[in-house]
Amino acid sequence: MVVCYLTCLNKKKVNRLVTLKCQECSFSKKSRQNPGEVEEVSVADYYWEVYKHRLKYPNAPALDVGSKKKPTYIPLEAWFTFL
């Protein structure tokens, strides 16, 4: 399955459905406020911080569209499929 999310410029293959909710599923990212530091952020908080999009379904699972070494999570509501 190929997904296209938000701007449709990012087409990714779905590797798995994550069992954690978007508000519980977190990852490490570089801190905007303290350069050089790394912070944990939930998928729901990341989408608000970056896209100013508050998830309608923060309790829904996320999709992993990254690799095994570096997973990339997107909310289930942020994608649609092409047939």
Q: 83 in a domain, yes or no?
A: no
The predicted pLDDT at position 33 comes to 84
Closest CA to 76 of 7, 10, 23, 22: 22
The predicted pLDDT at position 65 comes to 86
Q: 76 in a domain, yes or no?
A: no
pLDDT in tens, 30-73: 888 888 899 999 999 998 998 888 998 899 999 888 888 888 88
Q: Which long-range contacts (CB under 8 A, 24 or more apart) does 40-49 make?
A: 43/73, 43/74, 43/75, 44/75, 47/22, 47/75, 47/78
Per-residue confidence band for 80, with pLDDT thresholds at 50, 70 and 90: low
Q: Residue 27 is part of which domain span? A: 18-63
Quote the number of domains for the chain: 1
Per-residue pLDDT at 7 exceeds 70: no
